[in-house]
Amino acid sequence: MDGLQISNWVYHDGTYANTSIVQDLLHNVQAQRVENEDYSLQDTIHLPFSWPADANNKFPSYDSNSSSDPNSISLAGAELWPSQPTPDVPLPKTSMICAEDNFRLTKYSAEMPQWRYLTPERVAAFHSHLTAIRRVVDDNARAGVDLSRVEGKIQENIALILEDDVDMEVDIKERMSVLLPMLPYDWDMLFLGFCWSKETIHPVVEDPYIIPKKNLLYPSFQPRCLHAYALSPAGAVRLLMHLRNEPFAYGRSVDLATEWLIWDKRVKSFTVVPPVTIQRKVTKTDITLFGGALWKEKLEEGVLGTKQSGDEV
């Protein structure tokens, strides 16, 4: 593993909130909810939920039974929604609410904080990340990337996903070349930046032969914000299989979805502390309804001159 040797940068178009696919996805989410019972009459309800068998596999493999391409991961779950008729289910007159845990819903209240509302912007962001992860999985499959995970084997073909508003340390390559070899062989996800979490709760990752000088590596606690994260080849498959599960897909902000998967130990994730990438937006973002977030992040020396989120020199 040779630090951040990115051999193939690809731009992936995000999904706009005002597109028809977002409205169709909202109808599919609502159909999943009303299919079980009228949750709107109760303050809190846990709807029926289960993970598919492929999401339970910590050592995924390609679809060997596929007649068209044995080196592939077939479309499934909510990935098939766009190709199916949109459910004839009316959307609520009030804002839809983000699900919590696996499939727990809370009754709408106008007093809820804005991040609890399932807005078109949040569904669009979920779709953007889900399709980006699918692209990683498909690219790896076409290249015949090995998904096997064996103790002692170094993970290659790591995918780095960056949103369009990031800045990063000028020496990020050197910093990550120290940290990447410290990851265990079966890691799924790595946060190079995060927000709204104290990521030093778990014991720091240590290596008798490596002494990081500027950044440390921790098992992830509850990281939010997906402006900069890396996926191992198997981790990309595992994250895809969780995020596309129909009762789970699009029902909350995508970073709350990954946060829950990490908290519930469905995804094995680690976090770089302090972050080596930050978000630069401080005004209205593509997702929030009002102003920019109050979370402040710092860099020693950003590539774009950023010292702290929103401060450019």
**Which tens digit of pLDDT belongs to each residue from 82-133?**
999 999 999 999 999 999 999 999 999 999 999 999 999 999 999 999 999 9
Instruction: Please list the residues that pair with 230 across neighbouring strands.
Output: 160, 190
Q: What is the pLDDT of residue 41?
A: 67
Tens-place pLDDT, residues 172-215: 999 999 999 999 999 999 999 999 899 999 999 999 889 888 99
CA gap 88, 24 in Å, rounded: 10
Report the pLDDT averaged over residues 208-225.
94
| Strands in 163-242 per DSSP E | 166-168, 189-191, 216-219, 228-231
Q: What b/e sequence results for 205-220 when a residue is b if at least 16 CB atoms lie within 10 Å of its CB, and e otherwise?
A: beeeeeebeebbbbbb
Long-range CB contacts (within 8 A, 24+) of 206-210: 206/182, 207/181, 207/182, 210/178, 210/181, 210/182
**d(C-alpha 251, C-alpha 98), whole Å:** 6
Q: Alpha-carbon Rg of the chain, whole angstroms?
A: 20
Sign of the CA dihedral with 32 first, then 34, 35, and 36 last: positive
pLDDT of 146 strictly over 60: yes
